[in-house]
Structure 1
Amino acid sequence: MTFFGIGSRLWATRGAGRPLSILLLSGVSAAALAADPADAFNFYISQSFQHDDNLYRLADGVKPFGDGQRDDNISVTSFSAMFDRVYSRQRLYASVDLAYVAFDNYSDLDYDTKGMTAGWDWSFGSHWTGKLELKQDELARDRSDFRTNSRETSINRRRTLDAEADYWWHPDWAAGVGYEAFASEYSDDASQNLNYEASIPEVSLTYRPQSGNKVSLRARFTDGKYPDRTSSAIRDDGYSQRDLRLVGAWRLTGASRLSGYLGYTSREYENLEVRDFSGMTARLQHDWTITGKVQLRTTARREIGAREDLTDNSVVTKAVSVEPTWAPTAKIALQGLLEWRQRDFRGDPGLVTSVVEQDDETTTCRLSVSYMPLDSLSLSLSHTASSRTSDRAANEYDANVTALSAQYSF
């Protein structure tokens, strides 16, 4: 039997694609690919073929390594296995994600990734609930930020241990504590100074009425370290951060739902006070079911050191995206994405005048169509166009990625 499919992200947005979640395939509705809730085990095999016309995200007229080819064909083969079952009031879940990415022209860039998740949503008695989760994921570092002549792929490995406990002193109200340990490391020598560790305790107050809506007031205290970095006039090796957030998921109407957080962040660096940050931070997502066949998702965020940006955590990111979906039939869906993103790298603190401050603006457009000839088989075709302008001309680029893919589940 032959299977064809796709990893969950395109090179245009994250390097070459990776199976972080096989339910979020490019151009495929997550709802359409949802696993059968009656099955504790679900398996997915996928394969995609992509063409990238600017593999190294270079400015117009610039070729890799002086005279190299700008485009390449990419194959992404992935396998995912999931376990999810409820035993009485306890939920146990686990997943494994494996992927192999191969390049036609730049075979030295070939790489594989491994991801895993293991978790326990627990409940004891009538008052205590919580979560314990261990997670590891890997992905290729975005080449739009990874400026190097190296013929290798930099792999970012991220590990998270997350523990939470809530005490429900009232059916609608709970007080909670939590702790997160996070570590991020890179495979290449040039990126070792970006290796990062964080310890994040948290306290919370949660309101959850019988309607199913939920809102929490959370205070987070982050101790961040760069263990392989030496503090200097333009780099710091650690910081402390305090976040006060209102986090929630609230159904506004029968067809509209708002989720995310709104908060205030204060970050203080250990040595470079000029890079200290304080201000509003937020990530809000609005899901609107316009009709039975048309949905619209709108997302707005302002964050410092958003992990998916894969850059130094002094970056302040602002972004807005719109994602419409039209499903004319139960087997066919069309999806679009329009995103504008601005990143402020916080510049040079003024001690090295030769360093140009950097602000980037990136626009991404994607259109995809998916078809499910069988309940277990999904096919998709997508095209993604991205463009970036920057204070540093060498960091500007235009890129187009076309992908043909499919996924088989069993």
Structure 2
Amino acid sequence: MGALLLPAGAMAADDTFSLTAGQVFQFDDNVYRVAPGVRPFGQSQSDRISITSLRADFDRQYSLQRLRASANFARIGFQRFDTLNYDTQGGELRWDWALGHRLTGRLSVDQSQSARDLADVGGSRSSIGTSRSLRFSGDYWWHPDWSVGAGIERFSSTYSDVASQTSDYEALRPELRLTYRPRSGNQIALVGRFTDGTYPNRQAGVLSDDGFEQTDLQLSGRWQLTGHSRLNGYAGVTRRQHPNLTYRDYTGPTGRLTYDWTPTGKLAVSATLRREIGARDDLFDNFVVTRAASFTPSWAVSGRVLVQGAVEWRKRDFRGDPGLLSGSQSRDDITRTYSLSLSYTPIDPLRLAVSIGRYRRSSDDPNAGYTANVGTVSAQYLF
């Protein structure tokens, strides 16, 4: 349900503070993501959903220092399945610091909340995932184009429902990096990262492990290929080891690459390929190997009208993790998503939008497949 929230409003470069209010009305013909013909609790599969959101942003430059802060709140209400109603709160504090022009870095703390997909949770209530992160990083620019740096992150992910709490997760992630950033604005970094992850609510046993160690070696960056195309993301190798269940160990390629192409001032195309373990935007921090490909074209009909489409193919290999799938040793899911949206900005602070989407999942678990159609009308106002 996290995808239901409105995107944050953009803030003008000379604005210090902004406030964005949003309202979404949505119709979903398969709220619980159940198989065809199944009637959840003896009722229709469909429901109408209301999402009210508010976001505040602060952004200011003080000489070489930049401070940013944000806070967002949302209330999600269901007309028929009102036991699914929930609220979310999130925010970030961020300091982009500098000591002269050679030593730069970032200190940030943030929280985000989102509901897990009901196709993965089941039951009569939502499971709200809360992610918290504390990060510190620094880079020493020993040459105008080159730097060496280090960072550390303390990350945690918790869930509100009892059934999902075995997937609660904590991690400590130190990293080292070497960065090349020429005056063109392009950037390439060689990154080495180590993750010490634990599941505090799990007991190690025959079918469950209580932690892992992971090493990532990545080449990441952003590069302007031509005047109309850009490539950004990362590619590397990941090695994950478990202290008890070594047959779940993983070594293989991981990465996320996005190619952006703007052939004209009105037409833009974005394509993404990714292979990741427990990608955060999948709301899983456990051993789930996700492979996905997406294609997102957009057409600015005019300065105030924008048409966007999106197609995604995503495969998740759960690798037999009982912390995610009770009573199952393995499962593969393939989800196909199609969406089309039209947005209109009648005046600069106001954005109106309408969208339709279709979601279809197939699985080697016969009870896990579903088809859902979603229609949305939204409004967003930037004060």
Structure 1-normalised TM-score? 0.90
Matched with 2:229 is: 256
How many angstroms apart in 2 are the aligned matches of 1:331 and 1:18? 22
Maintained 8 Å contact 2:360/2:370: yes
Listed one character per residue, the Cα deviations across residues 234-293 of structure 1 (whole Å, up to 9, x for unaligned) are 211100000000010110001111000000000001111110000110000111101110
Q: Please tell me the residue identity of whatever aligns with 1:35.
A: M
Maintained 8 Å contact 1:57/1:398: yes
Give 1:307 deviation, angstroms: 1.5
Maintained 8 Å contact 1:323/1:337: yes
Maintained 8 Å contact 1:356/1:392: no
Matched with 1:120 is: 95
How many angstroms apart in 2 are the aligned matches of 1:17 and 1:405? 10
Maintained 8 Å contact 1:357/1:391: no
How many angstroms apart in 2 are the aligned matches of 1:241 and 1:383? 39
Matched with 2:298 is: 325
SS of the counterpart of 1:274?
helix
* 1:172 matches 2:145: yes
SS of the counterpart of 1:330?
coil
| Regions of 4+ moved over 4 Å | none
Give 1:372 deviation, angstroms: 0.5
Maintained 8 Å contact 2:208/2:321: no
Matched with 2:22 is: 46
SS of the counterpart of 2:313?
strand
How many angstroms apart in 2 are the aligned matches of 1:139 and 1:343? 19
How many angstroms apart in 2 are the aligned matches of 1:200 and 1:253? 35
How many angstroms apart in 2 are the aligned matches of 1:138 and 1:115? 6
Give 1:80 deviation, angstroms: 0.3
Matched with 1:18 is: 5
* 1:60 matches 2:47: no
How many angstroms apart in 2 are the aligned matches of 1:184 and 1:229? 14
How many angstroms apart in 2 are the aligned matches of 1:364 and 1:303? 19
How many angstroms apart in 1 are the aligned matches of 2:243 and 2:169? 15
Listed one character per residue, the Cα deviations across residues 349-387 of structure 1 (whole Å, up to 9, x for unaligned) are 9xxxx8452100000000000000000001000001000
Listed one character per residue, the Cα deviations across residues 102-130 of structure 1 (whole Å, up to 9, x for unaligned) are 11001111111000100000110131000
Give 1:68 deviation, angstroms: 2.1
C-alpha distance 238-73 of structure 1, shift in aligned 2 (>3 A): same
Listed one character per residue, the Cα deviations across residues 32-51 of structure 1 (whole Å, up to 9, x for unaligned) are xx321111001100001000
* 1:220 matches 2:178: no
How many angstroms apart in 1 are the aligned matches of 2:92 and 2:57? 9
C-alpha distance 142-222 of structure 1, shift in aligned 2 (>3 A): same
Matched with 1:381 is: 354
Maintained 8 Å contact 1:246/1:262: yes
Count of matched residue pairs: 379
How many angstroms apart in 1 are the aligned matches of 2:45 and 2:254? 37
How many angstroms apart in 1 are the aligned matches of 2:199 and 2:329? 23
Matched with 1:4 is: none
How many angstroms apart in 2 are the aligned matches of 1:152 and 1:59? 18
Structure 2-normalised TM-score? 0.97
User: Counterparts of 1:53-202 in structure 2 under 5 Å?
Assistant: 53-65=29-41, 67-148=42-123, 151-202=124-175
SS of the counterpart of 1:394?
coil
C-alpha distance 251-197 of structure 1, shift in aligned 2 (>3 A): same
Give 1:310 deviation, angstroms: 2.0
Matched with 2:216 is: 243
Q: Please tell me the residue identity of whatever aligns with 2:157.
A: S
Give 1:329 deviation, angstroms: 0.4
Q: What value does the CA root-mean-square deviation take over the aligned residues?
A: 1.3
Unaligned runs of 5+ residues in structure 1 are 1-10, 24-33
C-alpha distance 356-313 of structure 1, shift in aligned 2 (>3 A): closer
How many angstroms apart in 2 are the aligned matches of 1:357 and 1:240? 21
Q: Tell me which of 339, 342, 350 is aligned to 2:315.
A: 342
Matched with 1:266 is: 239
User: Which deviates the most, 93-102 or 118-127?
Assistant: 118-127
Q: Please tell me the residue identity of whatever aligns with 2:254.
A: T
Give 1:59 deviation, angstroms: 0.6
SS of the counterpart of 2:301?
coil
* 1:307 matches 2:280: yes
How many angstroms apart in 1 are the aligned matches of 2:321 and 2:161? 25
Relative contact order, CA 8 A, sep 6+: which one is greater? 1
Maintained 8 Å contact 2:287/2:321: no
Matched with 1:287 is: 260
Maintained 8 Å contact 1:18/1:113: no
How many angstroms apart in 2 are the aligned matches of 1:348 and 1:325? 38
SS of the counterpart of 1:97?
strand
How many angstroms apart in 1 are the aligned matches of 2:367 and 2:69? 43
How many angstroms apart in 2 are the aligned matches of 1:163 and 1:207? 20
Maintained 8 Å contact 2:319/2:329: no
Give 1:207 deviation, angstroms: 0.3
Maintained 8 Å contact 2:169/2:285: no
SS of the counterpart of 2:247?
helix
Unaligned runs of 5+ residues in structure 2 are none
SS of the counterpart of 1:395?
coil
C-alpha distance 120-359 of structure 1, shift in aligned 2 (>3 A): same
